[in-house]
């Protein structure tokens, strides 16, 4: 648990410091050049700082141990925090779609210069570096909230790539900045959709994959000589803690203490193999 907190804390603070620096840099460049795309990218970067604060808070809450009111722990706080990040991205995307449409109507041409080139290249390198660190930390800590923050950094880096391309061709077309702002907003919106769809599924509950179900059945059966007929397998995820419930069919003439022993054996095998805390309901074979 200490390692998980360490990864979340380091990534969160790194993101906050880096994003505030890039926001100031991008916003200044946007004001100097009059580019709505650069200003949109700057606010996207600042939203990363807000999401990083959410990462720190959500990560802290998710690692709290189980208590009387939360017997399965606080792991789902990670999913809630990731959903908040996704909603923030959606709001930012919508705002800049509106701004881009408004600028498209003015026929105002934006003149990009050396400042825009330097700031955008620096942004791409820094943001992709932050994304790579977040994805690496997410794998180490098995953290959905760090993955969400990594995608937030990645979309910022990709939006800066789009702006860089636009800077190269901006002098030829008056509508370049408006179109770039719209494209950046769509990219932000897509990242929001990816985060929200995944996290909402996790909160609602997902059916285990066929491969996982097969592995669970094989693990349970290997632990016992009696044919189990295991079915009704359900997984309940609480962040880093997973509960499993299932039914097993046993001979109706079997003694209660023997059935109980089989259930304990299977529960132990499941915990050793997958780390799941399982609850098993035995029933007669002819049911």
Backbone angles phi, psi at 250, to 5 degrees: -130, 160
> Which domains occur in the chain, in start order?
2-204 (1.20.1510.10), 210-284 (3.30.70.1350)
**Cα angle 250, 253, 254; round to 5:** 55
Backbone angles phi, psi at 246, to 5 degrees: -160, 170
What is the C-alpha to C-alpha distance for residues 255 and 259, in angstroms, rounded to an integer? 6
Find the radius of gyration of the CA atoms of the chain.
25
pLDDT at 71: 53
**Tokens 């285990």, residue located:** 208
What is the C-alpha to C-alpha distance for residues 80 and 199, in angstroms, rounded to an integer? 8
What is the C-alpha to C-alpha distance for residues 253 and 235, in angstroms, rounded to an integer? 30
What is the C-alpha to C-alpha distance for residues 40 and 32, in angstroms, rounded to an integer? 14
Residue pair 181/103 in contact (Cβ under 8 Å)? The answer is yes
Residue pair 93/189 in contact (Cβ under 8 Å)? The answer is yes
Residue pair 27/39 in contact (Cβ under 8 Å)? The answer is yes
Q: What is the pTM for the complete model shown? A: 0.55
pLDDT at 162: 75
| CA end-to-end distance (rounded Å), the chain | 43
The DSSP bridge pattern shows strands 277-284 and 241-250 to be parallel
pLDDT at 55: 65
Backbone angles phi, psi at 74, to 5 degrees: -120, 20
What is the C-alpha to C-alpha distance for residues 157 and 127, in angstroms, rounded to an integer? 5
Residue pair 89/189 in contact (Cβ under 8 Å)? The answer is yes
pLDDT at 103: 67
pLDDT at 89: 78
Residue 161 CA to chain centroid, in angstroms?
22
What is the C-alpha to C-alpha distance for residues 48 and 12, in angstroms, rounded to an integer? 10
**Would you give per-residue pLDDT tens digits along the chain (287 residues)?**
446 667 777 887 888 888 888 888 888 888 887 777 677 778 777 776 766 776 677 666 666 666 666 655 556 666 777 787 788 778 878 877 887 787 677 665 555 678 888 888 888 898 899 889 888 888 887 777 778 778 878 877 877 787 777 777 766 666 776 777 787 788 778 878 887 887 777 666 667 778 888 888 888 888 888 888 888 888 877 666 778 888 998 888 888 889 899 999 988 998 888 888 888 888 888 75
Q: Where are the alpha helices (DSSP H) in 107-175?
A: 114-141, 144-169
């Amino acid at each position: 648990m200490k390692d998980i907190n360490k990864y979340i804390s380091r990534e969160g603070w790194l993101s906050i410091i880096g994003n505030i620096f890039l926001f100031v840099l991008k916003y200044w460049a946007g004001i100097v050049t009059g580019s709505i795309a650069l200003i949109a990218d700057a606010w996207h970067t600042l939203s990363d700082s807000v999401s990083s604060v959410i990462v720190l808070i959500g990560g802290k809450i998710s690692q709290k141990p189980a208590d009387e009111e939360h017997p399965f722990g606080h792991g789902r706080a990670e999913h809630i925090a990731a959903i908040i990040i996704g909603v923030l991205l959606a709001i930012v995307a919508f705002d800049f779609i509106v701004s881009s449409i408004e600028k498209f109507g003015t026929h105002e041409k934006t003149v990009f210069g050396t400042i825009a080139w330097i700031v955008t290249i620096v942004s791409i390198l820094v943001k992709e570096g932050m994304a790579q660190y977040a994805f690496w930390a997410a794998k180490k800590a098995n953290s959905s909230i760090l993955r969400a923050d990594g995608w937030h950094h990645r979309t910022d880096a990709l939006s800066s790539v789009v702006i860089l391309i636009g800077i190269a061709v901006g002098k030829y077309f008056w509508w370049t900045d408006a179109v770039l702002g719209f494209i950046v907003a769509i990219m932000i919106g897509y990242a929001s959709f990816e985060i929200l769809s995944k996290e909402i599924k996790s909160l609602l509950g997902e059916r285990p994959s066929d491969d996982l179900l097969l592995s669970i059945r094989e693990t349970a059966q290997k632990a016992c000589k009696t044919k189990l007929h295991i079915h009704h397998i359900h997984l309940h995820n609480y962040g880093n803690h997973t509960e499993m419930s299932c039914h097993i069919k046993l001979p109706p003439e079997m003694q209660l203490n023997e059935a109980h022993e089989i259930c304990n054996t299977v529960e132990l095998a499941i915990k050793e193999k997958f780390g799941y805390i399982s609850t098993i309901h035995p029933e007669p074979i002819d049911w």
